[in-house]
Structure 1
């Protein structure tokens, strides 16, 4: 059973399952995050959907690079959660299965390549309160407890 965060699914509404990977990306007391400005703003753990035929690790590397411009190393899965939400960019009601990995940001290549995303470093304690969904906040809080 995967813990659910956020809204209870609405009776009678069809949700499409979308599996994605997201990163806790620490450096010292800070986390590398992304702010999606459209349709947002929404502060998020970097990550996103796994493409057909793609492994979760490959998707994590791709999504982190697209949303932050950083390369990461040593990814390790630390948990998962699910949430039911509307995704306006896809006009889709989704059951998001979010696989959470901790990885080490190792090299900044350039700006994010994903439109409407800005990378930023934030103190972990602030991130644990400001991330845009309960699941992201939960995993940031768990990381904060390790510091």
Structure 2
């Protein structure tokens, strides 16, 4: 598995598995990101709760973060990152499973405060994603699409 971030000796990291969706509007060259209002952008998704499947996690996160019903698509890959969260004052080892996803409907208003759905051009999105493992996943997804289109 590909790993990002520096592992600091003597630090106890909290392991946090998660699921993230890459939602594209290919014809417009746009990708959905979550803007936290603090200049940080993330892929839609988040931590898996107890006994949740990957699909259940992404559906829940889509409702919470965007007020959208998401459908899980093709698996893109898995990566992890070690980092320190200033917000939580904690060290994390996050492991993400990344999937293509699509919006298939609306739900109620998002329940997570300060989370806003933004559509960014793919190149801009790559440069603005906060976590390296999420940036890697978006770049891999875009390469997968390009390879498929070249084979047609």
Structure 2 residues not aligned, in runs of 5+: 147-152
Distance of 1:89 and 1:61 partners within structure 2:
25
Distance of 1:109 and 1:125 partners within structure 2:
29
Deviation at 1:127, TM superposition (A): 0.9
Counterpart residue number, 2:149? none
SS of 1:61 mapped into structure 2: helix
Q: Give the alignment partner of residue 8 of structure 2, picking from 10, 15, 18.
A: 10
Larger radius of gyration: 2
Q: Given that residues 19 and 45 in structure 2 are in contact (C-alpha distance below 8 angstroms), is that contact kept between their aligned partners in structure 1?
A: yes
Counterpart residue number, 1:72? 70
| Higher relative helix content | 2
Deviation at 1:91, TM superposition (A): 3.3
CA displacement 1:64-92 (0-9 Å, x = unmatched): 22111221224332111100112344432
TM-score, length of structure 1 as denominator length? 0.87
Q: Given that residues 76 and 141 in structure 2 are in contact (C-alpha distance below 8 angstroms), is that contact kept between their aligned partners in structure 1?
A: no
Distance of 1:32 and 1:144 partners within structure 2:
13
Across the aligned residues of Structure 1 and Structure 2, the Cα RMSD in angstroms comes to 1.7
Counterpart residue number, 2:35? 35
